[in-house]
Amino acid sequence: MYRDKDITEVLYAKSGHAPLLVDLRSPGEYRESTIPGALNVPLLDNVERSLVGITYKQDGPGKARELAMEIVAPRLPQFIYDFKNIAPDRVVTVFCWRGGERSHFAGCILDAVGFKVNRVRGGIKAYRRHVLKYFCRELPHRAVVVYGLTGVGKTDLLLKLKDRGFPVLDLEGLAAHRGSVFGKIGQPPSPGQKMFEALIEYNLRRAEKNGFFLVECESRRLGNLFVPGSILQAMHNGYRFLAYAPLRVRVERIKRAYINGIAGNSSAFRDAVARLTKYIGKNRVVELNKWLDDGEFDKVVEFLLEHYYDPLYKYPSCPHENYDLSVNMENVEEAARVIGSRLNSLLGHQGPGR
């Protein structure tokens, strides 16, 4: 018989001993939100789940179970084969919406064919409660916050530090949004709020053993997504690192991120410029669009930085005493080395980037 496990027991299993997580819900439910890292082996597809749900409401649970069995029974050989494919060691942890019929059925079937099966008690609802509880407290680690003007390369820096083994919370990457009116240009679809929070919790949980995490300073909102308040509080109380770079370097980085390949993004870029009308004026928007038509991308970027973004954020453009560390970002690799060394000193241990 399968064994029920609490969500904390599943999430905090010792490294190397955590069984494979499998979400049994429909593809639509899975896309909306799941436990990060879980695979999807659905018992019912989106339409079938809807039909079973309608039958449950109209005719009761007995008829709904009969319909579900009629649908699932012919597919059982393929269902078992899928599990053999993804879990050759035959150890799995399954879950559904609330630890009910779907995970009970799958657990019994898989147990009968020789799998060692664990089931998440309470299903994805238990995980959601865990996530909300995680953010309704002071975080157990210290934030190291990277500040800096637009274009200095904060995201590039975080990714370099991540490559060096430091724990990084890339909020913009998780949100698939760069955090400005231009933030969705060239980005994939953003997750929903529940999945965004799940991805954040996953990254922070993995960083607990380090006692700190690196993060770029962000506002409360990234597109349509909201950063949990406990993270903003951790940023407020964290170490402050300033990243700075000359205007010419920032222009080139902005061009690489937004302008290169503009043929495919020109409409989105113009729409974003238009949304700045109330801040820079209609005449300026017309002028910026003319520069775009003429291929004068440097002039567009320089204007946006000097007349919109820099006055908006007001970060220093050179070393400043109000920060625990100021680092020149002309060479991102060197900046990552400097920050790695300072982190080891601040935190009093030999860090991963040493």
Give 78-88 pLDDT, tens digit per residue: 999 999 999 99
Least reliable range by pLDDT among 14-28, 192-206, 284-298: 14-28
- CATH 3.40.50 in the chain, residues? 139-347
CATH topology of domain 139-347: Rossmann fold (3.40.50)
> For residues 332 and 161, is the Cβ–Cβ distance under 8 A?
no
Give 56-105 pLDDT, tens digit per residue: 999 998 998 899 999 999 999 999 999 999 999 999 999 999 988 899 99
Give 297-312 pLDDT, tens digit per residue: 899 999 999 999 999 9
Give 139-161 pLDDT, tens digit per residue: 999 999 999 999 999 999 999 99
Quote the CA–CA distance of 139 and 327 in Å, as a whole number. Answer: 27
* Per-residue pLDDT, 344: 85
- CATH 3.40.250.10 in the chain, residues? 3-132
* Per-residue pLDDT, 17: 61
> For residues 139 and 168, is the Cβ–Cβ distance under 8 A?
no
Quote the CA–CA distance of 237 and 240 in Å, as a whole number. Answer: 9
Average pLDDT of the segment spanning 210-238: 95
Cβ of 326: how many Cβ atoms within 10 Å? 19
Full-model pTM: 0.91
What 3-state class would DSSP assign to 162?
Answer: helix
| Predicted confidence (pLDDT) at residue 164 exceeds the cutoff of 80 | yes
| Predicted confidence (pLDDT) at residue 111 exceeds the cutoff of 90 | yes
The secondary structure of residue 33, as a DSSP letter, is -
**CATH class name, domain 3-132:** alpha beta
| One-letter amino acid for residue 330 of the chain | E
Spell out the residues 6+ positions from residue 219 whose beta carbon is closer than 8 angstroms to its own.
179, 227
For the record, the structure tokens of 71 come out as 């649908």
Distances in whole angstroms, Cα of residue 112 to Cα of each of 65, 80, 86, 102: 20, 11, 18, 16
